Structure formats: C-alpha cells, structure tokens
Amino acid sequence: MVLVSNLKKTLLFITLSSFIKSSIALEQFITCINNGDIALTFDDGPSLDYTSRILDILDYEDVKATFFVNGMNTCDLKNNQVARDIIKREYESGHVIASHTYSHPLTGITPLGEKKLTFEINALNNILYDIVGVKPAFFRPPLGEYTPENAIVLENCGITANILWNLDSEDWNSQYNATQQYVDILGTSDPSVSSFITLNHDIQEVTAMQNLPIVIPYIKSLGYRFVTMDVCTGMSAYQDGSNPPKVSTNSTSYKKGNNPYIPITSNLNSNGNTYGNTYGMSNNMNSYDAVNNEGITFDLEAGGAIHSHSFGLFALSFLFIIFYLI
Ligand SMILES: [Zn+2]
C-alpha cells in the first residue's frame, strides 16, 4: 500500500512537472489554431530567380504569406542588394518574415551544439534587423527536425514557436507533382474542421511558374482564408511584439483581364515536378476547374489534423486517468 502511494506521488510529480515544463517550452504548430485558415509558407529564399515573381502573384491575388528565409543559402543576403530589396518588399507588403537559419545546414540543426545554433539564429537576425528593423519570432528547422536541447537554445535566442506543416507541396521532389499534392490533400477537406500550414520553397521554379498561380484560386474556391503566421498561431511575428503591416493589393483596376500568371499548359498529367518552359499568358483558363477535373484522391487525414496543444492536453488527461486508476 505504501508502495502504491509512493508510486502515485511519483506519477503526480512527473505529470505536473512535465506539464509545467511543456507550458513554458517553445511552442510548435503543424496547423493553424482556427479552422478554415490556411497559411502559405515559403522556405529557403530569397531567390534572385523566383521570389519576386512569387511576390507579384501574391500581390495579384491579394494574399499574404510567410517566408522562412536564410542568410546564406542561394545568395548572400547581407551583401546582395537585390536580395535585401526582396526581403524589404516582403516585409512592407505585409508578409511575415521568419527564420530558417543563417546557412541552412545540410544536416539540419539536430547535430548543432549551443554555440553553432546560436550563431545560425543570431547571424540571420542581425541581417534582418539591419534590413527591416525586426527579428523573427517564428522558426522552421531545416528538415523539420529539432531536439529538446535545440529548443532551449532557440528559446534563448528569442524564438517563440517552431512552425512545421501538414501540407507538403513536395515542390523540390521530381517524384511528386506539387499542384496535385494540394488537390489530393485539400480536395476532400472541410474548412469547417480543418486548417493548414503548407510547405513550399520560393527557390523552386515549379512553385513560381506553375503551382502558385493555379492553387491560390483553387484554395479560394474551397472557402479557406489565407493567413500569415501571426494570425495562424495567435502569436506575434516579431520579437519586439509587432506584427506585419496591414497592406491590401486588392484593386479591381489592377486585375483587369485574365490572370497573367496562370500557365497556358500545366504539368498536371505528368508524374512529377518536371515543369518546363510552358507558362505564359492565360486564355480563358479556369484554373481550379481544371484542377478539379483531374480527379481527387485523398492521401492524408486533412480533416483529422490535430493541433499539438490539443494533443498535449489529451495526453495530460490520459495520464491523470491512469493515475486515478492505480
Ligand atoms: Zn529548407
């Protein structure tokens, strides 16, 4: 009996201390907090080849997104004026600038010790602060992986949330078709019970030239609301507590005529992201109907996406039930 009592006390201690610890730990999101919201996110930029076009498309559609940027990936952000201007445009257009490390280590951040990871965060933060006067509060680990030790370092660098995803466009992967990925996952989802954080890369040609012009109207047709990461998470985008400026590009005069960004032909029938030189001025292409006609399959449990907080609460309740039964 004494043994059982001690066991109960130990379990209670472990449960409470793990709850207290998790309540102050770095947040993690794989979906938005509100159903019906969808956050487009772009990693690995800025790209001197494609990011400006992506910003043009977002302006045309009056959609705001979140960019997880690097300091030294496809270009040297500190010293390249074109890259700096792209970051400035992203910020001033009302998109969210978030961190994806300074150098995008090929190994991800899991092998990095405190000193190296601190450098990866602070070196990028200093460049961004120099360009736009803010430091990101949101972080996405390269490869999507991090350790509890990484999380402590990230917190110490002012990061408040790690942002993962529940819709992967696979735009870098020739085995997949990015547009079809969206259709497969969103096609049978229900905005009243689902929300999405989508993973894209603004260094990928297929995203800039084909996928984005097609999937944005498609997503609109499904009734989702585009949000930036601050709205998606209910947290501040920047370490000083600020959020992106509210900027609208929704002007009817701006949108006269057909959408100039939709490609004449798409690679929807091909097996992978093999997009070539097939874009150009659209005729009367109805993009999302074209997508819908491809036939929809459902690979992921879009409707069953669980916010990690809800899961934590569920796990805590489960532990208390076990404790009570002993
Ligand atoms: Zn990346």
**Domain-wise residue ranges, the chain:** 27-325
* Cα 47 to ligand 1 centroid, rounded to whole Å: 12
Query: Which amino acid is located at 228 in the chain?
Result: T
Residues 144, 149, 154, 159: what is their CA dihedral angle, to the nearest 10 degrees?
Answer: 80
Ramachandran assignment for 161, one of left (phi > 0), alpha (psi -120 to 50 degrees), beta (any other): beta
Does residue 46 have a cis peptide bond before it, meaning omega lies within 30 degrees of 0?
A: yes
* Cα 60 to ligand 1 centroid, rounded to whole Å: 26
The set of catalytic residues is 43, 201
* Cα 320 to ligand 1 centroid, rounded to whole Å: 39
Q: Which of 239, 310, 245, 301 is nearest to 32 (CA)?
A: 310
**pLDDT 10s digit of each residue in the chain, 326 long?**
444 455 455 444 444 444 444 444 799 999 999 999 999 999 999 999 999 999 999 999 999 999 999 999 999 999 999 999 999 999 999 999 999 999 999 999 999 999 999 999 999 999 999 999 999 999 999 999 999 999 999 999 999 999 999 999 999 999 999 999 999 999 999 999 999 999 999 999 999 999 999 999 999 999 999 999 999 999 999 999 999 999 888 765 556 667 888 876 555 545 677 654 333 323 333 344 434 333 333 232 233 233 344 344 445 455 445 555 55
* Cα 227 to ligand 1 centroid, rounded to whole Å: 21
**Calpha distance 33→92 (Å, rounded):** 25
190's CB contacts (< 8 A; 6+ apart) are 303
* Cα 213 to ligand 1 centroid, rounded to whole Å: 22
Fold assignment, 27-325: TIM Barrel (3.20.20)
311's CB contacts (< 8 A; 6+ apart) are none
Q: What is the pTM of this model?
A: 0.78
* Cα 222 to ligand 1 centroid, rounded to whole Å: 28
